[in-house]
Structure 1
């Protein structure tokens, strides 16, 4: 599990930060974000479920394979899953990024909706690559996150 202190100290020179407010309640948004197969448009990737979680389908230990364009596929594994409030994951196999992690924090809003605070951190072995990936990822998530739930 990644605590806020650990997230802030994790190596990741490039960070993507996106916020979005849904009109749907946290349980609806959590279910949409937790379902691996829903996330393809969010990342501009083809996503395949590799493994269900240790105690629930999309919980801790659940793994998805992502394939983005011609790049090599990589796996992301859920490391924390707190129903209706928090999902954390990391790259667990492959990929060109280093130290990649993601954190999705869901907070109920006063009107019954959900505020999402989404941060992704990573580095890349080639100079300039992390910055390019960061811009593409920020654009893709910002453009498509609202389609996951109303």
Structure 2
């Protein structure tokens, strides 16, 4: 089991289908961390579903994530499959709804490739989420 975990959570006052659609869209999802991404391979049954691959970043600093579980309006799981300073990675995003809002529970697990960098990577992910996600998710809410 990976040694490091990052748990991120948010409540979005929007229907779960809209929030899930945002997270499932590879280009929009990466903006939650202030990055740019693109789908480089379509999924088996759905363009952004199981087997689809998104590339985050560009050039030597890019890395690929592959969708390994996809249940509309419920969950998305992905793994880093190329690049990145981490290994044994699993990202799990869970969605639940109630009272006109969507709850997001997002867990990232990994081991660093470079010793003694795990805590720094955790802090970096948390910082990028806090800097970008609240504003972007607020944009999904209905007035």
Fold conserved (TM > 0.5)?
yes
1:53 aligns with 2:36: no
CA spacing shift, 1:71–1:133, aligned 2, 3 Å? farther
1:104 aligns with 2:93: yes
8 Å CA contact 1:49–1:63 kept in 2: the answer is yes
State the match for 2:28 in structure 1: 38
- CA-based RMSD: 1.7
Q: Deviations over 1:10-62 (max 9, x none)?
A: x2211110110000011000000000000232223221211111111111111
State the match for 2:68 in structure 1: 79
Q: Distance in 2 between matches of 1:17 and 1:143?
A: 15
Moved over 2 A (4+): 43-46, 142-146
Equivalent position to 1:121, from 109, 114, 121: 109
Cα offset, 1:130, TM superposition: 1.6
Secondary structure of 2:104's partner?
Answer: strand
Q: Distance in 1 between matches of 2:36 and 2:84?
A: 14
Please give the TM-score of this superposition, normalised by the length of structure 2.
0.88
Secondary structure of 2:89's partner?
Answer: strand
Secondary structure of 1:39's partner?
Answer: helix
Q: Deviations over 1:73-96 (max 9, x none)?
A: 111011111010100000112222
Q: Distance in 2 between matches of 1:22 and 1:53?
A: 27
Point out where structure 1 has 5 or more consecutive residues left out of the alignment.
1-10
Q: Which moved more, 1:42-51 or 1:18-27?
A: 42-51
Secondary structure of 1:89's partner?
Answer: strand
State the number of aligned residues.
Answer: 138
8 Å CA contact 1:18–1:142 kept in 2: the answer is no
Please give the TM-score of this superposition, normalised by the length of structure 1.
0.84
8 Å CA contact 2:50–2:68 kept in 1: the answer is yes
State the match for 2:7 in structure 1: 17
